[in-house]
Amino acid sequence: MKDKEFLMIPGPTPTPESVLLALAKHPIGHRTPEFSKIFEEVTEGLKWIFQTKQDVYTFASSGTGAMEAAIYNTINSGDKILCLVGGKFGQRWGEIARMKGAIVDTLDVEWGKPLNVNSLKDILDADKNKEYKAVCITHNETSTGVTNDLESIAKVVKEHGALIIVDAITSLGAIDLPFDKWGIDIAASGSQKGFMLPPGLAFIALSDKAWKAVEQCNSPGYYFNLVAAKKNLLKNTTPYTPAVNMFVALKIALNMMQDEGLENIFKRHATLAACVRAAVPPMGLKLFVDDVNARSNSITAICPPEGLNADDFRKSVKKHFDISMAGGQDHLKGKIFRIGHLGFCAPRDILATISCMEISLATLGFDIEFGKGCAAANKTLFDLTKE
pLDDT value at residue 386: 81
pLDDT value at residue 4: 85
pLDDT value at residue 387: 58
Give the model confidence (pLDDT) of 176-234 as tens digits. Answer: 999 999 999 999 999 999 999 999 999 999 999 999 999 999 999 999 999 999 999 99
Select from 141, 139, 136, 137 the least CA-distant residue to 176: 139
Mean pLDDT, residues 336-363: 97
Give the model confidence (pLDDT) of 61-99 as tens digits. Answer: 999 999 999 999 999 999 999 999 999 999 999 999 999
Residues 156 and 121: beta-carbon distance below 8 Å: yes
pLDDT value at residue 322: 97
**What stretches of 111-268 adopt beta strand conformation (E)?**
132-138, 140-141, 146-147, 163-167, 186-190, 202-206
Give the model confidence (pLDDT) of 220-230 as tens digits. Answer: 999 999 999 99
Select from 193, 153, 163 the least CA-distant residue to 299: 193
pLDDT value at residue 202: 98
Cα–Cα distance, 56 to 50 (Å, whole number): 8
pLDDT value at residue 2: 79
Strands 132-138 and 80-85: parallel
Cα–Cα distance, 217 to 72 (Å, whole number): 8
Mean pLDDT, residues 33-40: 96
Tell whether the model's pLDDT for residue 375 goes beyond 70. yes
Reported for 363-372, long-range contacts at CB under 8 A and 24+ positions apart, including other chains, are: 363/316, 363/320, 364/308, 364/312, 364/313, 364/316, 366/284, 366/305, 366/308, 367/284, 368/283, 368/284, 369/282, 372/282, 372/283
| Model confidence, pTM | 0.96
